[in-house]
Amino acid sequence: MKNIIFDMDGLLIDSENITFHIYKDYLCQIGYRYTKEMYISLLGKRKEFAQEQFKKDFGSSFPFDLFWEQTHIILDQELIHKPCLKIGCIPLLEYLKEHSYTIILATSSYKNRALNILKGQHIDHYFNDFICGDQVKNGKPHPEIFLEACKKIHCEPNQAIVLEDSETGIDAAFQAGCSVICIPDMIEPDFDHKKKCNYILSNLLDVLTIL
């Protein structure tokens, strides 16, 4: 199979730990306690899910829009201007490009943010196409984003390999009918999610050993 679908946050970009600490520091300053478990529940999800979760955790009066705007100004500056690629990212992308793989990004992040980050990290040119969270109706774990990715690169789902780091992404890729390679970031997938994966690897460089 020469069709590869990449997630972005936590897979290509070492963004999850950075995001968690920015959220935690901001919330601490305004009097809220934020834990890693709270953040992990958001992995792979869209902004709308995060808003519901924050209101649930901190009450309906929580100023989510202000929180989101201010933390993401800081976060996006970090991810655009500072090196934060995951181990093996460039060697893998170089290999795929040199060997004529079709490569598409499928991320829950909105398109403008995703493209700015990829350009800031100088990897946007590796991708044949992009499908982002604001271009689909249903976020992960719904399979829509991966089904749309396959349509964009003109392949059947069973002819595509999805690279993911989160359980939410694993569910979406598995339901779409794609092969799944998981490279865990903040948490290891549980037993049920491991069964949905074709491979579980330590880093992006390891993908080269199975292509």
Digit-coded pLDDT (tens) for 15-42: 989 999 999 999 999 999 999 999 999 9
Q: What are phi and psi of 203, to 5 degrees?
A: -160, 175
Q: What is the pTM of this model?
A: 0.90
Select from 81, 109, 136 the last residue of a domain: 81
Q: Which residue type, as a one-letter code, is found at position 10?
A: G
Regarding whether 46 and 150 lie in a shared domain, the answer is no
Regarding whether 27 and 8 lie in a shared domain, the answer is no
Q: Which residue type, as a one-letter code, is found at position 72?
A: H
Contact 121, 84 (CB under 8 A): yes
Regarding whether 92 and 21 lie in a shared domain, the answer is no
Three-state SS at 166 = coil
**Residues 102/106/111/116 CA torsion (nearest 10 deg):** -70
Task: Tokens for 122, please give them.
Answer: 């100088």
pLDDT score at 1 = 81
Q: 93: which DSSP letter?
A: H
Regarding whether 192 and 110 lie in a shared domain, the answer is yes
Contact 162, 181 (CB under 8 A): yes
Determine the structural domain holding residue 73 and report its residue range. 16-81
180 bridge partner residues: 162
Query: Could you tell me the CA-to-CA distances from 94 to 76, 88, 98, 99, 104 in Å, in that order?
Result: 25, 10, 6, 9, 14
H/E element, 164: strand 160-164
Task: Tokens for 27, please give them.
Answer: 């919330």
Regarding whether 101 and 196 lie in a shared domain, the answer is yes
Calculate helix-pair angle for 144-152, 167-176, nearest 10 degrees. Answer: 60
| C-alpha to C-alpha distance for 104 and 74, rounded to whole angstroms | 27
Kindly tell me if the per-residue pLDDT of 44 is higher than 90: no
Regarding whether 170 and 101 lie in a shared domain, the answer is yes
Residue-wise pLDDT tens digits, 71-129:
999 999 999 999 999 999 999 999 999 999 999 999 999 999 999 999 999 999 999 99
Regarding whether 122 and 196 lie in a shared domain, the answer is yes
Regarding whether 156 and 66 lie in a shared domain, the answer is no
How many beta carbons lie within 10 A of that of residue 12, not counting itself? 28
pLDDT score at 195 = 98
* 120 Cβ contact partners less than 8 Å away, ≥ 6 residues apart: 79, 80, 81
Residue-wise pLDDT tens digits, 158-186:
999 999 999 999 999 999 999 999 999 98
